[in-house]
Structure 1
Amino acid sequence: MKQFLRSKNGSVRSGVAAFSFALVSFTAFAQPPVDTLQTGYGRRLLTEITENTMQLKPENLNKGLISTTEQLLAGQVAGLRVIPNAGAPGAGAQMILRSGTSIFGSIAPLVVLDGVPLEPTSASDHNSSFSFLNPNDIATITLLKDAASMAIYGGRAANGVLLITTKQANKTSNLKLDYTTTAGISVLRKKADVLSSGEFREMVQRDFPEQEHLLGKYDTDWQDVIFRNAFSHDQNLSLSGALFKAVPFRVSYGYLNQNGILKTSQAKRNSLALSLNPSFLQDHLRLNVYLRKADEYTRIADKYAITQAWAFDPTQPVYQDNRYGGYFTYLRPNGEPNDNATTNPLSLLEQGLHEDETSNLLGQVHLQYKLHFLPSLSVNIRYAFQDQQNDFTLQRPAEMASVAWLKGWLQTRDRSINWKKKEAFLSLDQPLGMLQSKLQVVLGASVKDHEQEQYNLSSSGRGSFSEFYYMISNNYTSVFGQAAFSVKGKYLLEAALTREQSSLLPATDRTFVMGSGGVSWNLLKESFLAGKSNLSQLKLYANYSSYGKPDNSSLVMTSMFNSELKVERTNKWNAGLTWGIRGNRLSGDLNYYRTSTKDMLIIITLPPINGFPNSNTLKANNGGFLTSGLETNLRYQLISRPDLNWSIGTNLNYLKSEVSDFRKGSQLYHYGDELVLSPGKPINSFYLYEQLYDSHGKPIEKGYKKDVRGYDEKQVMRTVDPSLVFGLNSEINYRKLSADFLLRGSLGNNVFNYAEAYRNALYMASNGGYMENISGKYTESGFNIPQLHSNYFLEKASFARLEYLQLGYNVGNIWRDRAALKLNATVQNAFVITKYKGQDPEVTGGIDRGQYPQPRTFSVGLNLSI
């Protein structure tokens, strides 16, 4: 099957070889100025966009042992939340612009890499959609949140557009070799609070004296058993320059070996990138070629081992002489493993083998011709493709106690995701004599073919066998246009219109149109502000946009298809002010936004059909929600001297949401046992029993608020999402020394600590024939049985995290001035200030069932340029 999946994409690879071989030498063109923004359809001045736009460069991004692009952005941009999926190697993070525009659809910004929009999905379930991108190759990152120009990218731009450009050379570049290395140690920042072996013995002797014979004679800290200090390193080598002073090129190789703090977890990545950017015919014909190859390997540690380590009897040994790998195992009288007992967590990690391998090939050729008789008009043709192949294997041997009844277990999955995109567009950038104005226009069309295949196979040693195969194809077309008209550098009008069509969508809603419009006013160029020397910038802007969102992956990956389904519709409006004082020594912006989503997509569970026991799910449209907020960025240059520079910056985002309406008769929509949508309440609200307390302030066992009939009644309360998100950074440079840090966090967010609710009960300690450990906080509640839906365990999870602190030293020129050397030392996740009682307050989805904890990492780095 693997061979079958790969053979279908051989033509893609051969195409890459063909256009790479065809490259010879051309006359190079210079790099564009740094105050411009690279979009998918040309370059624009940052001042010619109808929103405040900040371009981040490597020196402004997060530092340390960085393995994914998402890590670079955490806490850096107002309005963008970056929530780590877990602390596991290669796990990536969830990126959410504000509160998102969907409940089950995509809420991440559209990533545009060197002008090419990437797919939001990955062939791997364990890596992010662009984990193949080596962070060391990135030159700039820009987030567009509201600009009218975003609509040219279609419906997926509703959550913003993340524009990433990679490093390139120019025609004046000398041959340059760069080597960067980072090595670090990751450690567990905080243990979960469970009883020690001594406390556990005391509890058993006091509360379960009849079970004392079940205790062992050991003192085992099971968290010490499964966690480790993990060494990782990242190596990057690049060569850039201009061949024959005519063909700018850059080639880079990266190798990442990241070990996780949970034993056996590991991620490796080999990446290779090539860019060629020649031009000829006196710069009228330009060619941009990008090719990026990455092979990723992930050893996935069974996360279930974490909760089993919390539960396992600390008086028992790790190993014993038996036929189950030598790991201590609870046995029945017949010598078979007790399936109801806790599982040795080290056995889960060391005996089970979970491997994920992904191969990723991404490339593009972009040809641009500026007409000789009208150089302001260019004709552009682009071909881009991506080929992802993923193999996942899960093996559990027959001697593993947890699957002994199956006599072993094997599960494999082969998945491929491939797409090809062809587009052509005209781009006009024409100064006009009248009114000292300028007109910018883009008109074009694109066609994209997308294909996804998957084959699953499961089997056991007892002869059970199952397999599953599916293939999805989609043809996606787009016709787009964008226009911007500026007058005297003061006034800017901008609009974009896109018509999209997807073959996967129902015939009733297969075609949809997106549109946007924006204005900005540069007040500093008005005569009434002339002579105001303290002001260095002052601009007002406003935007409105409307999107239809073809969330194809979530529409088709359901067991039943709704032919009447419509795409979600999102309308966005914002207005803001950008300002600067004294040469931008103090600068900032203030932005208000309001977003509404209607025809909201929800998942409905249907009753069994034709006697089949499994329920079916169906996507349907129902209601909508509103989000709004206020964002600000501030930057202040405290000291600016030849030998000392110190700047500080902060970003703040106040946000709120509200479910606006449901269809008649609908008051609650459940997704999971703990979360609901309810009209008038925030999205992602919790749905729990309201705990009652006695006169001493202690929770009453099974004591909940009642309804009018006297029954326990769940309540809609609080929300997963924060009300305020912030970041605070500082950069100090003194001669050759530097010190940078970023403190980020949020206020008003909540987490339901399900793992604590499950362990916080005395009853859990005693189970027939074996003992289980419980939470160290069980005496505070006094619960005898788990209260799995009590808001007693709904905790405030506001936090402040020191994302990184880096000290650097610029050695300067060495080796007879032939090379330059820089050194640094970094600590990441040094501390977290929070009242949350779990291991970490950042929990994707707001339900903490026991997550892979985020480690604290100490690293040293070196950068050598020759």
Structure 2
Amino acid sequence: MKTLFKSSLILLFMLPMSFFAQQSVSGSVTESATGLPIPGVNIIIKGTTNGTTTDFDGNYTLNNVSNSDVLVFSFLGFTTKEIAYQGQNTLNIQMDESQAALEEVVLIGYGSTSKQDATGAVEKIDQEKFNQGAVISPEQLISGKSAGVRITAGSEPGGGSEIRIRGGSSLSANNSPLIVVDGIPLDQRGVQGVRSQLNAINPNEIEDFVILKDAAATSIYGSRASNGVILITTKKGNLGSDFAMTYDLKASVGEVAGKVDVLNAAEFRNIVENTPGTDPSLLGDADTDWQDKIYQTAVGAIHNITAQQGFENFTYRVNLNHTDQQGVLKTDLYERNALNLTLTQNLFDNNLKITLNSKGILDKNHYADQGAIGAAVAFDPTQNVYEPGSYFDGFFEFKTSPTQQQQQATRNPVALLLQRKNNSTSKRNISNINFDYRFSFLPELKFNLNAGIDYAELEGHETRPVTSAANNQDVDFENNYYGLNRNTLLDFFFNYKKDVEAINTNVDLTAGHSFQEYFISSNSNYTQSNELVFPFPVKDRNSLESYFARASFDIADKYLISASYRYDGSSRFNKDNRWSGFPSVSIGWKIMNESFMENSGVFSNLKLRAGYGVTGNQEIASNYGYLGVYSPSLNGANVQFGNNFIGTLRPEEFDENLKWEELQTYNAGLDFGFFQNRLTGSVDAYYRQTQDLLATVPVPAGANLSDLLTTNVGETVSRGIEVGLDAAIIEKEDFNWNVNYNITFQDLEVTKLSLGNDPNYFIPQGGISGGVGNNIQLWKKGFDPSTFFVYRQVYNEAGQPIEGAYVDVNGDNQITEADKQAYKKGTPDFYMGLTNTLNYKNLDLSFTFRGNFGNYVYNNTQSGNGFVGAGTVTPQDYYSNLNANVLETNFQENQLFSDYYVQRADFVRLDNVSIGYLIPGEKVDFRASLTGTNLFTITDYDGLDPEISSGIDNNFYPRIKNVVLGLNFAF
């Protein structure tokens, strides 16, 4: 079977080479382990294009060979061999199967292991697999690259992404993964004043991502690991390397990928003129596309200058980054200036390694008023942008007098953007120093100490002139705001690794301690009711102390056993609930190393994994939810005693028994490789249950100090299957074609929600526009948390919705709240990613598709403005534009809770296409590339974009269709 398969591969690998009859060499190439011939092996004279390949029987002949030549034998899955030719006519070669891919080192938290020895669901994504283009926020590098990882990118410049590993598991607590950068766990709440806290990490400086998915891999991080862990490692210099410098430029041009479909001036004028009770004289004589007026072509540039060098015991790497990126929304601008420094020093015969990482970042933002997005959709298209002589800086506004605007009317979208200035500066530094010491008297034992800090200061200033209709006071609006974030870390651990020959077992033991403290303060002053208001400053502190241990055993290079335990104490809970343990255990069987697999002609890797673990979640909005705290009153909310106004203290709700969520996960996985690892992959299945669910729920009047309380209530259960495949379709000297495909099936269900047993109990969620206090989703036992809660629409024979006609579910001959039903959900049933990478000599091409399937979106842009009354029934003398969907439904009044607006949102998106060419030189290597992002989306969804994480489409900042020119010079 093995010989037959290898023989068939020759059809893919054999290429005619040079056949010039001078001096020639012949021979055969076989496997060293089995002696079987290997067809399709590349044999080339080093430094030339003169080569050949082995035939069906592993034989070859290479012509035009000289005594000084070096012959290079290479084939995927085997270690490359270089043989000096010495004039012999026959040269037979045995090739060893390569273990490089399996022995690739991956981080697992407070240590590392090889890929073949990992027992948890762990995936490493390095530079070769990254998405290309003008990437500002690091997580965009791996979008679509990993099964079980769904990344929904933001749209504003410098904006972050929603990252979900295995879908998240909580309701009110944070569902984002813990992110660890060079050993420093970042604050999961983010950093004040930055659009994405990951923007502090220059994507150009990232070496790789390691994603820990299941509890067996994540429980070493205990109370913060229930939503997975992402370990980011940045680049460092190499010992003994020559001085090298690179300059990299990414210049981009982007436009909105789509706009909300609204009525043009003629269509709107026709509706107003034909609606009883309207006054067409209120309409203007213009034809204004307000969305065109607020959006722009966004240009940007990312500059990176990097220098690095390695000496015998010391290396350095310095990177200077400057990023400028406009948003497609006018006045929106992001700027980053960053200095990244990495130093490594080896001492004491290389027993001590000291590593310093420091990232200094200066973030500048000009925030556009995103309220202009909704205003542009709703503003009367018959009106002009400008009105000469207008009190409102020459902008047209609906008004009751020359200096007084209509209070409830939509504001001029262009004025919202141009009359507001909101600039902020954030200074941030992320630094850590790591000492890694190997004891000279016991080289199997290492001690690692890591001390780090993530420190940020924010200063911002916002103004609107008195002539702005959005100001609504007699003085200029001014807001000065300040913030400070400080995250400090000190951890250490001992690691002992030894191959115990007496029991044929490799032992890996780790034990350590960690302490981390988070501190946030914020302050501001602003004008309100013509007065300057100075609110009380806010200070917030919490800390986490942890003890952890892990033991791993590799028995006979076949059987793997690993167990870990973390004991966490959090200041967010009272002393009775403060400490908790998080255990895990996992096993692995390296089937490929069994004797019965020695002569397998198909498998080149086969490993079975299984694991169980417990993790936690403590990321809630308040650090003091278990304490009775008091909030001081603001100016204007004081109590008057005579002529004196006395401030008050307001008690806040609390739950003294509050504790963290606990999540139990079961995971089973299979890693495999076929045909000398030409096709590799993994399959994982998981089941996880979240208990003591943290959720903000209604409580009975008088039961607490508020009608809403964050407490432990309920459970969720999630299940999933993940498949990841990597295939080397073609592997030649000059041409390579690799394919990566991943698909994830997932399901999340609330299995308990209330403290009682009412089967009909639910909590409304998902606020929508078009009314006050309306919610379109619900949390309810037996349903996904993103499930919609709607009436079932009735349609006529032509398939058109009948206004106000809904299914009488309970048969009481009237439509009431009791007729609403849980219907569809906002999260996908499954999602996938497909990446192709091709290289021909110095030319490279890659493209990535992503897709979500089985998800629905509530189209609030249609339901909120898609009926005649939305624009024509107003308490004042003005009209608002309508969604073009009104032409299809002819709805006169809102039908907010109709399932007509819950629309299927499957999509396939061409996420990234990049083509590049390298021109090597004696002193300078030059590479040029052209990248397109978000080029097209295939979907039946009627709205702006089907990929909306909340499941509710309303005032969505449109995604950008981007083209990027890249120039790279390596000196």
- 2:822 match: 716
User: Deviations for 1:706-764, whole angstroms, at most 9, x for unmatched residues?
Assistant: 34543423211111110011001101111221110000011011111112111100112
More moved, 678-687 vs 818-827: 678-687
CA spacing shift, 1:54–1:599, aligned 2, 3 Å: closer
For residues 327-406 of structure 1, the aligned pairs below 5 Å read 327-333=395-401, 335-405=403-473
Does residue 743 (structure 1) correspond to residue 836 (structure 2)? The answer is no
CA spacing shift, 1:850–1:763, aligned 2, 3 Å: same
For residues 185-584 of structure 1, the aligned pairs below 5 Å read 185-207=253-275, 211-243=279-311, 245-320=312-387, 321-333=389-401, 335-405=403-473, 407-460=475-528, 462-463=530-531, 465-554=533-622, 556=624, 559-584=652-677
For residues 18-167 of structure 1, the aligned pairs below 5 Å read 35-51=104-120, 53-84=122-153, 86-124=154-192, 126-146=194-214, 148-167=216-235
For residues 724-739 of structure 1, the aligned pairs below 5 Å read 724-739=830-845
User: Deviations for 1:316-374, whole angstroms, at most 9, x for unmatched residues?
Assistant: 11111212111111111464111122210000001012223222111111112211111
- 1:802 match: 910
Partners in 2 of 1:105 and 1:282 — Cα distance?
48
Does residue 587 (structure 1) correspond to residue 680 (structure 2)? The answer is yes
On the 8 A contact 2:223/2:660 being kept in 1, the answer is no
On the 8 A contact 1:504/1:552 being kept in 2, the answer is no
Does residue 670 (structure 1) correspond to residue 772 (structure 2)? The answer is no
Where 1:151 maps in the other structure, the secondary structure is helix
What's the CA shift for 1:474? 2.1
- 2:951 match: 846
Partners in 2 of 1:399 and 1:306 — Cα distance?
21
Partners in 1 of 2:460 and 2:791 — Cα distance?
40
Does residue 660 (structure 1) correspond to residue 751 (structure 2)? The answer is yes
Partners in 1 of 2:109 and 2:123 — Cα distance?
17
More moved, 279-288 vs 207-216: 207-216
- Code of the residue aligned with 1:297 in structure 2: it is K
Partners in 2 of 1:607 and 1:592 — Cα distance?
41
Partners in 2 of 1:749 and 1:277 — Cα distance?
48
What's the CA shift for 1:645? 0.9
On the 8 A contact 1:407/1:460 being kept in 2, the answer is no
On the 8 A contact 2:121/2:217 being kept in 1, the answer is no
- Code of the residue aligned with 1:671 in structure 2: it is Q
Q: How many residue pairs align between the two structures?
A: 828
- 1:621 match: 712
On the 8 A contact 1:566/1:621 being kept in 2, the answer is yes
- 1:756 match: 862
Q: Scaled by the length of structure 1, what TM-score is found? A: 0.92
What's the CA shift for 1:209? 8.5
Where 1:403 maps in the other structure, the secondary structure is coil
- Code of the residue aligned with 1:515 in structure 2: it is P
User: Deviations for 1:175-199, whole angstroms, at most 9, x for unmatched residues?
Assistant: 1101111001010111210111222
Partners in 1 of 2:624 and 2:939 — Cα distance?
40
Structure 2 regions of 5+ residues with no counterpart?
1-100, 630-651, 767-774
On the 8 A contact 1:408/1:460 being kept in 2, the answer is no
On the 8 A contact 2:173/2:618 being kept in 1, the answer is no
More moved, 427-436 vs 117-126: 117-126
Structure 1 regions of 5+ residues with no counterpart?
1-31
On the 8 A contact 1:51/1:146 being kept in 2, the answer is yes
Q: Scaled by the length of structure 2, what TM-score is found? A: 0.83
CA spacing shift, 1:392–1:182, aligned 2, 3 Å: same
When the two chains are superposed, the root-mean-square deviation of aligned CA atoms in Å is: 2.1
Where 1:170 maps in the other structure, the secondary structure is coil
On the 8 A contact 2:291/2:377 being kept in 1, the answer is yes
Structure 1 runs, 4 residues or longer, greater than 6 Å off: 607-610
- From 806, 820, 825, the counterpart of 1:704: 806
What's the CA shift for 1:615? 5.2
Where 1:401 maps in the other structure, the secondary structure is coil
User: Deviations for 1:443-466, whole angstroms, at most 9, x for unmatched residues?
Assistant: 111122221112232323622635
Partners in 2 of 1:644 and 1:66 — Cα distance?
27
User: Deviations for 1:621-674, whole angstroms, at most 9, x for unmatched residues?
Assistant: 111010001110112211111111111121000111211123323421223412
- 2:881 match: 773
CA spacing shift, 1:247–1:34, aligned 2, 3 Å: farther
- From 724, 737, 742, the counterpart of 1:651: 742
Partners in 2 of 1:246 and 1:409 — Cα distance?
58
Structure whose CA Rg is larger: 2
What's the CA shift for 1:772? 1.4
Question: How much identity, in percent, do the aligned residues show?
Answer: 29
What's the CA shift for 1:241? 0.7
Where 1:829 maps in the other structure, the secondary structure is strand
Where 1:842 maps in the other structure, the secondary structure is coil
On the 8 A contact 2:215/2:226 being kept in 1, the answer is no
Where 2:304 maps in the other structure, the secondary structure is strand
Partners in 1 of 2:575 and 2:806 — Cα distance?
49
User: Deviations for 1:366-412, whole angstroms, at most 9, x for unmatched residues?
Assistant: 11221111101012222111112223433222110122345432233
Partners in 2 of 1:676 and 1:406 — Cα distance?
43
- From 754, 776, 781, the counterpart of 1:679: 781
More moved, 180-189 vs 327-336: 327-336
User: Deviations for 1:463-496, whole angstroms, at most 9, x for unmatched residues?
Assistant: 2635132212223210100110001211110010
User: Deviations for 1:27-78, whole angstroms, at most 9, x for unmatched residues?
Assistant: xxxxx99811234423321222103533212221111111101211211110
Where 1:562 maps in the other structure, the secondary structure is coil
- Code of the residue aligned with 2:934 in structure 1: it is N
- Code of the residue aligned with 1:832 in structure 2: it is T
Partners in 2 of 1:43 and 1:649 — Cα distance?
25
Partners in 2 of 1:845 and 1:508 — Cα distance?
36
User: Deviations for 1:263-303, whole angstroms, at most 9, x for unmatched residues?
Assistant: 00011111111111111111111111111111111211111
